[in-house]
Structure formats: structure tokens, C-alpha cells
Structure 1
Amino acid sequence: MLLKFFQNEARFPTHKSEVPKAVIAYIAKQIFFEPELYAQYDWTGRLITYHRTQIREFFGFREDTIEDAQKMAEWLCQHVLHHDHEFEHLRRNWLAYV
């Protein structure tokens, strides 16, 4: 579930209930598991941390850092706050930046 959610959303769900039951049932059927097993998955242990690491590596992502946040803040100050507060302006400039 984490893999497919990340593939679609480019982030992990914040809680179990964020994944729709229909999606859980659909994926469970594809891999021949009972959907109820999803409820048993430990969202606080080492296993989920390991799974998230594997998924990030598979997609070429990494966890963000304090340096990333600082760079984002600098970029926002340089490219957004001096111009306007319109979302479309932010989107255009961010896409040009990356």
C-alpha cells in the first residue's frame, strides 16, 4: 500500500485511514491477501521506516533535510515574496528553478 500510495502521491500517507478502503481491497485482491491484513500493519515500528527507505530508494527520493528547508525559504524569498503572493507565479518559477 505504501509503495502504490507513494507512486501516486509522491508522499506517504499520514495515517492508515488515508488509504481508501476500495484501494486496499483492490491491491489485496491483486496480491492474493485479505484486505484486513492492512489494519495489522505497524505504523510506528522499525518495519515501516525500513519500507519507506526502500520505497524512496526505488523512486530515487531522499528524506528532506534542514538544508533543503533553508534553500526552499531562500528561493521563496527571492522569487515569490518580491513579486506577489499568487500561486500560479510560484508554480511557474519553481518549475523553472528545478
Structure 2
Amino acid sequence: MARTPLDLDDLVEHWTLLKDEQGLVSGKRGATRLGFAVLLKFYTQYGPFPRGWFELPGGAVEFVARQVQVPASELDAYEWSGRTVEYHRAQIRGHLGFRECRVTDADKLTAWLAVLSGEVVDG
């Protein structure tokens, strides 16, 4: 994803923390607070989670940082891999009513697609 700058309308529409989202962020501090907030807003807009700061659109980090009252430079200290980010992703998915895809989900999807295409699937 390119780091294209966003205009103010895009920032306000897609990167403003809503009341319930502010509650999720409130218990976190510093880089963790900012990292969680940008993960949340990126996921709600694009679907997947960002793999790192380099995928975040221009201006988004500064816009979110002002809302959570953490300097944008703190994002440099956020760990993009490991237990913390995995926990953050699980919290975000849970808040939004999603869960990670399981093997059984993939099997069901494969069978469904096979039915749509007219193929016969054993199992």
C-alpha cells in the first residue's frame, strides 16, 4: 500500500476514533496506545492489519496521535510483531465481531466455491 497523503475529509471520515473505540484505547499508554489506535482504524478501513508503519497513509499517524494524545514519533517504539500486536489484533477483531479463519472455515469455503462452480467435492 502506498503512503499517499490523505486530505482532511479522508482523515476525519476514516481516522477519527469513535466513542466506543476511544474506550478500547483508553487503557493503553504511549507507543502501545498509538499503535493500537492506528491498527484499529487501518483494519476498519482496509480489512487486513498493516504489517508496519510503512503501510500507513500519509498524515494518518499524526491525526490519530493528536486524538490519543501521544506524540506521533512514539510509533517508532511500537512492536509490529510479537505477543503484544497479536493481542491487539485479537482485541480489535473481537470488538468488531470477527475471528481468525480456521481450517474448518477454509474447508467450508472450498466446498461452497466448488458447488458454485459445479464441481463435486467429497467430504
Instruction: Specify the alignment match of 2:102 in structure 1.
Output: 65
Tell me whether 1:77 sits opposite 2:114 in the alignment.
Answer: yes
- Distance (Å, rounded) in 1 between the aligned partners of 2:52 and 2:72: 16
After the TM superposition, which segments of 4 or more aligned residues of structure 1 sit over 4 Å from their partners? Answer: none
Which structure 2 residue ranges, 5 or more long, are not aligned?
Answer: 1-37, 119-123
* Aligned partner of 1:45 among 71, 82, 86: 82
Q: Per chain length, whose mean CA-contact separation is higher, i.e. which structure has more relative contact order (CA < 8 Å, sep 6+)?
A: 2
Aligned residues: CA RMSD: 1.3
- Distance (Å, rounded) in 2 between the aligned partners of 1:77 and 1:39: 45
- TM-score (normalizing by structure 2): 0.60
Which amino acid letter does the alignment assign opposite residue 25 of structure 1?
E
Tell me whether 1:4 sits opposite 2:37 in the alignment.
Answer: no
Residue 12 (structure 1) shift:
1.0
- Distance (Å, rounded) in 1 between the aligned partners of 2:52 and 2:107: 27
Instruction: Specify the alignment match of 1:14 in structure 2.
Output: 51
- Distance (Å, rounded) in 2 between the aligned partners of 1:17 and 1:52: 18
Give 1 or 2: higher helix fraction: 1
Which amino acid letter does the alignment assign opposite residue 54 of structure 2?
S
Identity %: 36
